[in-house]
Amino acid sequence: MGLRVRRTRAARKLTMREVAETSGVSLRFLSQLEAGEANISIGRLASVAKALGVSVVELVAENPRWGQKGDSVALLGLRGAGKSTIGPRVAGQLGLEFIELDERIEEAAGMALAEIFSMHGEGYYRRLETESLETLLGQQRPSVIALSGGIVHNEDAFAAARRGCTTVWLKAQPTDHMQRVIDQGDRRPVANRPDAMEELRAILAAREPLYSLADVTVDTSRLSIDEAVAQVVVELG
């Protein structure tokens, strides 16, 4: 519980003094609580939870999502979901390394993703995707891993992710996916494609049933980046 209090406070960007003052407990007591050295009544715990903006249940749950299937976290979602933006910050909050799986695939192939697809096709990419993820998980070094948007269609790789990681779907509206990619300076999704948005909606609709299998879902269309990071950390427990 102390670890959850500490992580939640860090995710909310609150100091110990702020939480202590808002909850009415002493700074010394809060320090002991976070260190796992304090006995706390339900009433005082409720005050701490309220100061942190969470429920008592979230602080005392015996089975937090994170850690049930290993200590790595895998981020799911279409391009523009926020994996590369939110992922490093979640990793920082959890004290883990952030890894882009596509970068490991490029290293394994010795070429960029575009070259992999143009020269060898999707089948080769999917094989490398599975091998690269299994290698990462086999190293047993906890990390936050940004997965490709289409990994849900790779049965072996998606099964490995669900088996070896706590999976988080960074959900967003199609318009947000599109706008975020454009804001990154990439207009390829809409260049000479009048039906680009409908195509995106169709892709998302096809993948949503698989994305929804994730252990945690965080809607990044409804939250700021700071709020999404905090929500992911809190949901992980």
pLDDT tens, position by position, 195-217? 888 888 999 999 999 999 999 99
In the chain, list all ranges with CATH 1.10.260.40.
Answer: 2-60
Q: H helices within 82-188, ranges in order?
A: 83-94, 101-109, 113-120, 122-138, 155-164, 174-183
Mean pLDDT on 128-144: 94
In this prediction, residue 190 carries a pLDDT of: 56
* Whether pLDDT at 61 is above 90: no
- The size of the chain, in residues, is 237
CATH topology of domain 2-60: 434 Repressor (Amino-terminal Domain) (1.10.260)
In this prediction, residue 12 carries a pLDDT of: 79
Contact 126, 102 (CB under 8 A): no
Ranking 74-88, 174-188, 210-224 by mean pLDDT, the lowest is 174-188
Question: In this structure, what token pair is assigned to residue 101?
Answer: 């799986």
Give pTM, 2 decimals: 0.74
Which amino acid, residue 91? A
In the chain, list all ranges with CATH 3.40.50.300.
Answer: 72-236
For 30-54, b/e burial (b = at least 16 CB within 10 A) is bebbbeeebebeeebbebbbebbeb
Distance CA 178, CA 176 (A): 5
What is the per-residue pLDDT across 82-129, written as a single tens digit (0 to 9) for each?
A: 999 999 999 988 888 999 999 999 999 999 999 999 999 999 999 999
Looking at domain 72-236, its CATH class is alpha beta
pLDDT top residue among 137 and 236: 137
Contact 92, 78 (CB under 8 A): no
In this prediction, residue 161 carries a pLDDT of: 95
